[in-house]
Amino acid sequence: MFAGPLYRDRREAGRVLAEQLAPAVENESVIVLALPRGGVPVGFEASKRLNTELDVFVVRKLGVPGREELAMGAVATGGVRVLNNSLIHALRISLVQIDRVTEREKQEITRREAAYREGRPAPSIQGRTAVLVDDGLATGATMLAAAKAVRQRSPERIIVAVPVASEDACHEFRRSVDEVICVATPDPFYAVGAWYEDFSQTSDAEVRELLERVARQHVA
């Protein structure tokens, strides 16, 4: 039975998430990495509560050629790629096609990072607790690509933290990262947006503004 929204908007969801996240990272060097765009308002509230840096970690879906709404995988900052091999095999998608889509999305990742940070360098992840934040997890494909990419940057720990998720997605991530915080795992899950009163699209301008606000507070 659908019980209705859990959160008014992403900012409220971020505040609720932050209260559960804070005890898990006490006395640690933390950086919050938000998946844009919808994860940034959530990550902003978490970074504010933890008094730590906030950065974006860009992940792009790899759409099936001609059926772009259908994901055959994802690619993240740093070029780490996660593929749905069973789907690729079933649809007989060639490696050339996959590489072509990957290259296009990697260029978009580079463009978005430059636009969001506005010239600021990416903060270091090495030796820190990296908290990957999004507004929710359905299948978790994009978050998995992000977690694998972050692992290559030698963090001390990786935590995936979301306000709402399917129980299956949360369970899968417990095998991939050091800790998973899913505030709510409603069953049946439906979709992430079903659990928000306001799930309107986060704009690029809002992403830039929130990142800038946190960056000003953490200037050395």
Express each pLDDT in 22-45 by its tens digit: 999 988 999 999 999 999 999 999
DSSP conformation letters of 48-105: HHHT-EEEE--EEEEEETTEEEEEEEEEETTS-EEE-HHHHHHTT--HHHHHHHHHHH
Cα separation, 160 vs 182, whole angstroms: 8
Order the strands of the 67-76 sheet from edge to edge: 59-64, 67-76, 81-83
Question: Across residues 134-155, what is the average pLDDT?
Answer: 90
Which domain-ending residue is among 115, 138, 158? 115
CATH number, position 198: 3.40.50.2020
The closest of 84, 138, 117 to 210, measured between CA atoms, is 117
42 & 136 share domain: yes
> What sign does the CA torsion over 115, 198, 17, 180 have?
negative
86 & 165 share domain: no
Could you give the percent of the chain with pLDDT greater than 70?
97
On whether residue 170 sits in a domain, the answer given is yes
75 & 183 share domain: no
On whether residue 3 sits in a domain, the answer given is no
What is the domain range of residue 98?
Answer: 61-115
153 & 212 share domain: yes
pLDDT of residue 218: 74
